[in-house]
């Protein structure tokens, strides 16, 4: 029996400690009661499970899995499930905390959660992936549910994985439970617009930020790190708005073309080969180079801690759109702040996904499904309102967008906690 261990992590610092540091900084600025900070700085529940799986070669592998609920003061907890070899409990806790702030900033009635399995899904066959997902779901089945905790896709998971979670949960309950998970395929109660929603929300934020600076997206240059769900569609949408996407990357390749990457060709290449490596009409660079390119907009849409105190001073972009969660560390934040870089923080910039997940949950509970134009219009309303609130707070209080966004969110969760009271 093989026990699958995590490899050396991409995380240089403990992400949960960083998330708590962000909370402390914001709480001090927004004068949040220390007793509440003590509550908000911890996770309500963290479950660790082992996930044994029959592999195709007859052996059995055991994977470590987690599901963490950070806070439910404003509603059931919501958050993605990550399949990645670097997943740790503290990473899942940090991501769960950020989900709480994200849902509060968007004004949607959810708390924050996250899940993860320490696995490289690319190394599994489809059958192994399905068996692992179903066993993981069984192990956390008492933690999740439409009124309790609702998973969604994250790095390494997609609609197919959500379909297996939905089916496993439903089989155990004896009837279909549409609201147990979001990011489902359309054929089984998914929402139109969900696949592209995170990128669309990021586009709305970039568009609003550029407009605030009296600029035009048309003609701006962009570098996008990560060509998965978030990064690929953000590259596509920015290209459609007239921006020139000069660099893209995935875990295996980073590519640059000063005249602009052919995004349609990149989609086709990724679909055919499963990687951007080998894409024609572009020069090979590294993921580190990509972050330091002389572009107008940099969109890190892969993993955490890619912009740190080691490289922040060399970043040349004037706007950073955090399509991914936690790409900029607090130390890097301070350096970029001094340089005058506008950071559109993760809890704002990539919240489009959870907003349309909320729409999917509502549609599932009502068993009544909306047109895509309706989904996108409602998403635009919510994201642009949150952008405006964050921008105004940042301007009027002379603070970075991150502090403003986290501050608004933490205040809302603190208010809900005070109103409900601490049980008993």
Catalytic residue numbers read 114
Q: Which stretch binds ligand NAD (CB under 6 A): 31-39, 173-181, 319-327, 412-420?
A: 319-327
Q: What is the smallest separation between the CB atom of 163 and ligand NAD, expressed in angstroms?
A: 15
Using CB under 6 A as the binding rule, whether residue 96 contacts ligand NAD is answered as: no
Q: What is the smallest separation between the CB atom of 326 and ligand NAD, expressed in angstroms?
A: 7
Using CB under 6 A as the binding rule, whether residue 154 contacts ligand NAD is answered as: yes
In this structure, are residues 56 and 125 in contact, taking their beta carbons and an 8 Å threshold? yes
Q: What is the smallest separation between the CB atom of 198 and ligand NAD, expressed in angstroms?
A: 4
Using CB under 6 A as the binding rule, whether residue 322 contacts ligand NAD is answered as: no
Question: Looking at 101, 110, 164, 227, which residue binds ligand NAD (CB under 6 A)?
Answer: 227
Q: Which residue is nearest to ligand NAD (CB)?
A: 228
Question: Looking at 111, 226, 364, 407, which residue binds ligand NAD (CB under 6 A)?
Answer: 226
Q: Residue 136 or 227: which CB sits closer to ligand NAD?
A: 227
Using CB under 6 A as the binding rule, whether residue 91 contacts ligand NAD is answered as: no
Burial 301-326 (b: 16+ CB within 10 A, else e): bbbbbbbbeeebeebebbbbbbbbbb
Q: Which stretch binds ligand NAD (CB under 6 A): 24-32, 133-141, 152-160, 413-421?
A: 152-160
Question: Looking at 249, 305, 376, 393, which residue binds ligand NAD (CB under 6 A)?
Answer: 249
Angle between helical axes of 89-106 and 372-397 (0-180°, round to 10): 90
Question: Looking at 46, 72, 129, 155, which residue binds ligand NAD (CB under 6 A)?
Answer: 155
Using CB under 6 A as the binding rule, whether residue 332 contacts ligand NAD is answered as: no
Using CB under 6 A as the binding rule, whether residue 228 contacts ligand NAD is answered as: yes
Site residues for ligand NAD, 278-297, by CB under 6 A, read 287
Torsion angles phi and psi, residue 51, rounded to 5: -125, 90
Using CB under 6 A as the binding rule, whether residue 251 contacts ligand NAD is answered as: yes
Q: How far apart are CA 278 and CA 280, in angstroms?
A: 6
Q: Residue 6 or 39: which CB sits closer to ligand NAD?
A: 6
Q: What is the smallest separation between the CB atom of 223 and ligand NAD, expressed in angstroms?
A: 12
Q: What is the smallest separation between the CB atom of 319 and ligand NAD, expressed in angstroms?
A: 17
Using CB under 6 A as the binding rule, whether residue 97 contacts ligand NAD is answered as: no
Q: What is the smallest separation between the CB atom of 99 and ligand NAD, expressed in angstroms?
A: 9
Give the chain as a 3 state SS string: CEECCCCCCCCCCCHHHHHHHHHHHHHHHCCCCHHHHHHHCCCCEEEEEEEEEECCCCCEEEEEEEEEEEECCCCCEEEEEEEECCCCHHHHHHHHHHHHHHHHHHCCCCEEEEEEEECCHHHCCHHHHHHHHHHHHHHCCCCCECCCEEEEECCCCCHHHHHHHHHHHHHHHCCCCHHHCCCCCHHHCCCCCHHHHHHHHHHHHHHHHHHHCCCCCCCCEEEEECCCHHHHHHHHHHHHCCCEEEEEECCCCEEECCCCCCHHHHHHHHHHHCCCCCCCCCEEECHHHHHCCCCCEEEECCCCCCECCCCHHHCCCCEEECCCCCCECHHHHHHHHHHCCEEECHHHHCCHHHHHHHHHHHHHHHCCCCCHHHHHHHHHHHHHHHHHHHHHHHHHHCCCHHHHHHHHHHHHHHHHHHHHCCCC
Q: Which stretch binds ligand NAD (CB under 6 A): 126-134, 161-169, 203-211, 321-329?
A: 321-329
Question: Looking at 250, 296, 333, 360, which residue binds ligand NAD (CB under 6 A)?
Answer: 250
Using CB under 6 A as the binding rule, whether residue 303 contacts ligand NAD is answered as: yes
Torsion angles phi and psi, residue 150, rounded to 5: -120, 105
Using CB under 6 A as the binding rule, whether residue 358 contacts ligand NAD is answered as: no
Question: Looking at 68, 302, 319, 401, which residue binds ligand NAD (CB under 6 A)?
Answer: 302
Q: How far apart are CA 175 and CA 199, in angstroms?
A: 33
Give me the 167-206 binding string for ligand NAD, x by CB under 6 A, dash otherwise.
-------------------------------x--------
Residues near ligand NAD (CB under 6 A), total: 25
Q: How far apart are CA 206 and CA 46, in angstroms?
A: 34
Using CB under 6 A as the binding rule, whether residue 156 contacts ligand NAD is answered as: yes
Q: How far apart are CA 151 and CA 115, in angstroms?
A: 8
Question: Looking at 76, 85, 353, 364, which residue binds ligand NAD (CB under 6 A)?
Answer: 353
Q: What is the smallest separation between the CB atom of 194 and ligand NAD, expressed in angstroms?
A: 8
Residues that bind ligand NAD (CB under 6 A): 10, 153-156, 198, 225-231, 249-251, 287, 301-303, 323-325, 350, 353
């Amino acid at each position: 029996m093989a026990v699958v261990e995590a490899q050396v992590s991409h995380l240089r610092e403990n992400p949960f400690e960083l998330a708590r540091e962000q909370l402390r900084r914001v709480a001090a600025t927004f004068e949040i009661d220390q007793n509440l900070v003590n509550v908000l700085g911890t996770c309500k529940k963290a479950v660790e499970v082992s996930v044994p799986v029959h592999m195709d070669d007859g052996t059995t592998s055991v994977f470590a899995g987690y599901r963490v609920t950070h806070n439910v003061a404003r509603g059931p907890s919501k958050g993605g499930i990550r399949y990645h070899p670097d997943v740790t409990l503290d990473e899942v806790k940090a991501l769960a905390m950020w989900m709480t702030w994200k849902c509060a900033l968007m004004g949607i009635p959810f708390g924050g959660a996250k899940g993860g399995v320490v696995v490289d899904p690319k190394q599994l066959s489809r059958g192994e992936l399905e068996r692992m997902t179903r066993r993981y779901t069984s192990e956390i089945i008492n933690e999740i549910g439409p009124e309790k905790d609702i998973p969604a896709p994250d790095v390494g998971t997609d609609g197919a994985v959500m379909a297996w979670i939905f089916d496993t949960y439903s089989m155990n309950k004896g009837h279909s439970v549409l609201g147990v998970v979001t990011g489902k395929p359309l054929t089984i109660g998914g929402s139109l617009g969900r696949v592209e929603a995170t990128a669309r929300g990021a586009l709305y934020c970039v568009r609003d930020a550029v407009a605030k600076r009296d600029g035009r997206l048309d003609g701006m240059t962009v570098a996008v790190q990560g060509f998965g769900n978030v990064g690929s569609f953000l590259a596509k949408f920015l290209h459609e708005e007239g921006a020139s996407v000069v660099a893209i990357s995935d875990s295996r390749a980073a590519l640059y073309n000063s005249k602009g990457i052919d995004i349609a060709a990149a989609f086709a290449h990724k679909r055919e080969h499963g990687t951007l490596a080998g894409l024609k009409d572009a020069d090979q660079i590294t993921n580190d180079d990509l972050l330091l390119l002389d572009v107008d907009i940099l969109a890190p849409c892969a993993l955490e801690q890619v912009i740190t105190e080691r490289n922040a001073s060399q970043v040349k972009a004037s706007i950073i759109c955090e399509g991914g969660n936690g790409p900029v560390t607090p130390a890097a934040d301070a350096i970029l702040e001094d340089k005058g870089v506008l950071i559109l923080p993760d809890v704002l910039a990539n919240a489009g996904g959870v907003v349309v997940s909320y729409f999917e949950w509502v549609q599932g509970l009502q068993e009544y499904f909306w047109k895509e134009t309706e989904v996108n219009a409602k998403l635009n309303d919510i994201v642009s309102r949150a952008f405006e609130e964050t921008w105004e707070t940042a301007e009027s209080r002379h603070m970075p967008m991150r502090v403003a966004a986290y501050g608004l969110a933490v205040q809302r969760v603190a208010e809900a906690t005070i109103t409900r009271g601490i049980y008993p």
